[in-house]
Every structure is written in C-alpha cells, then in structure tokens.
Amino acid sequence: MGYVYFTEEQKERANTVDLKDFLERQGERLLRSGPEWRMSSDHSITIRGNRWYDHGSGGKGGAAIDFVIYYYGKSFPDAVSMLLGGEQGEIYRQSKKQEEIPRGPFTLPAANENMIRVFAYLLKSRMLDYGVVCAFAEKKLIYESLEPSRDGSRQYHNAIFVGYDPEGKARHAHKKGIYTVGKSYRGNLESSDPRYSFHWNGKSSEIYVFEAPIDMLSYISLNKADWKNHSYISLCGVGSQALFQTLKDHPALTKIYLCLDHDEAGMEAAARIQEKLTEAGYPDTELYLSHWKDWNEDLKAAHGMEAVPAEEKPPPELVEEKMLQMA
C-alpha cells in the first residue's frame, strides 16, 4: 500500500466533522445528556459538535480524527478517509466552531422542607430498606429537591444523590425523578465533578461498585449485615473515574466487587474496568452479577414483584460474526 497524502484542507475538514452526524451514519444510537450527546453503547463518552471526551479514561478527548483513532482503532489516514466518506466522497455536515465552555460553580438544587415524597418513592416503588435510606439521609447523601420547571409554571420534586470530596464538600449530584407515571428524568447535574459521585466510605478493605445510586442502595438493602463497615460507590454511569479517585483517596481498599448491571452493556463495562484495575495494580477484583437485570430488580423480586430478566452476554463467536458483518 502506497503512502496516503491528505492536504491540510482535507485534514481540517475531517477534524471538524460533526460527530453526532458521523456516528448516526455509522449506526450508533445517541442519547441527549444536557448540552451534549452520550453514546448508548459506551455511556462514558460524550460528544458535542466535533469534540468528544471519555469520562472513564482519566482525561482522553479531542476532535473528530482523534475520536475515530481512539474508538474505532483506525490509523490516521484511515480515520481521515472514514470521516470524509471514503471513496464514495460522502460529505458529512460540518459542526460550528465550538467554544470552550468553562465548568461553572457546582450548586446543589434547593431542598424541599421534608423528604416525604422521596421516602415514599424509595420505599414503596423501589422497595429499599427504611433503615438504609435513613442512614444516607442523615449524612445528607440523599435529600428531596423542589425545583421549578423551565417556564416556571410547575414545581418538581426529585431525589438527589450527593457525592462529597474527602474534605466534605459537595462536588457531585445525581438527580432522579420520583414520578411513577411515564418516563422520569435521571442524570448528573451540570458542573458535577465526575471524580466524586455518590458513595459510602466504610472501614474494611472491600468496595462494591454499581452503575446507579438505586442499584447501590438495593444491594445494601439485600445485604444489610455489617453493611456500614464496607465501602460502596455508584459510578452514575459506566465510567471508572470516580472509582479510581476513591481508590486513590482510600489506599486501604484492595478488594473490589464490580456489581454493574446484568446486561450486555453492564458486563462489557465491568470487563473493561476490571482490565484497567489489573493494569493499575488492583488484581483482587471480582465481577458480581445480580440474578435479574440489576440489583433493584433482585430486590423487587425478593418482595414478590415482577422483575426484568437479565440479559446474558452473547457467545464470543456471535460477537465476532457481528463484527465481520459490520466490516
């Protein structure tokens, strides 16, 4: 194969391709996440215009060419060619020049005067243990917010799961709508620091890792014996930044249980995190799966409620066949 030459103009066009448009043409599904888009196949990656950032990689990000090299494993010439549509000359929409938006100061939503609605939601709809929820509420790790709608015509009550840094300063918050009719909101507050998500610090050497706060609280509700002695963390997604920050802040933590969702995305994320942990010098890591789709489904099943089944990971040969079909 001869040397592939691209002019500066071609490289500039490739590097300013709008990544949302590009990924949708590759068959990727994207989810809105505030002003950004999040990949459904890898929730740790967010995109905005031609820029991207992997929240689980400890700082990887950049423009369109770097993304294709990073995510698809392409060489520089192949990445440029892919972004420009290859031999077909397919033209992708160019993004407007993105200005760097500085992260604003982190502020928690205003609290409601009580937690009646949040307790009702967590205990009756999610079947969480009363004593467990009280323990987190007493430490101001969970509270109920009261927030106006965008047009100011309504007020919404939400469950807020707060993450603190080692100095006790609130740095992260995950918001979960508590309305049981229709699809409720959930997501991390803008300006949250991904290093300090919702967690509990114990004194033992064990830490249990989950995708969502309710998964974490469900597991504790199912395993209450001496639970306060152990550590728990919700990644509020599948990125590993918060886990590695916790391990850095608490070097006594050496036994790690990855308790992510029992579906294909969760198991793939757990395997990826386990590999990173091994490379970072944490060999004592165990994948710990729920029986049903996630730990809250296990908790609901334990209370005789209908639960969503787990999704088993497809055999390697099927994954390989699918990749060959996509090539």
Beta-carbon contacts of 248 under 8 Å, excluding residues fewer than 6 positions away, are none
Q: Is residue 317 part of a domain?
A: no
Confidence of residue 144 (pLDDT cuts 50, 70, 90): very high
pTM above 0.75, yes or no: no
241 in the same domain as 284: yes
Q: Is residue 262 part of a domain?
A: yes
277-325 confidence digits (pLDDT tens):
988 889 899 999 999 999 999 999 999 999 999 987 544 443 444 344 4
279 in the same domain as 192: yes
Q: Is residue 25 part of a domain?
A: yes
135 in the same domain as 54: no
Task: Look up the CATH number of the domain holding residue 25.
Answer: 3.90.580.10
137 in the same domain as 62: no
pLDDT confidence of residue 301: 96
Q: Is residue 29 part of a domain?
A: yes
80 in the same domain as 205: no
- Segment 200-210 mean pLDDT: 97
Confidence of residue 185 (pLDDT cuts 50, 70, 90): confident
75-98 confidence digits (pLDDT tens):
778 888 888 876 433 334 555 555
Q: Is residue 324 part of a domain?
A: no
Which tokens hold the place of 241?
């930044």
| For residue 74, pLDDT beyond 60 | yes
Q: Is residue 109 part of a domain?
A: no
284 in the same domain as 186: yes
134 in the same domain as 247: yes
199 in the same domain as 72: no
Q: Is residue 236 part of a domain?
A: yes
Q: How far is CA 226 from the centre of its chain?
A: 28
Q: What is the mean pLDDT of the chain?
A: 85
203 in the same domain as 298: yes
Task: Print the domain residue range for 136.
Answer: 120-141+160-173+182-302
195 in the same domain as 75: no
Task: Look up the CATH number of the domain holding residue 295.
Answer: 3.40.1360.10
255-276 confidence digits (pLDDT tens):
999 999 998 888 888 888 988 8
247 in the same domain as 296: yes
Q: Is residue 40 part of a domain?
A: yes
pLDDT confidence of residue 88: 34
124 in the same domain as 48: no
Number of domains in the chain: 2
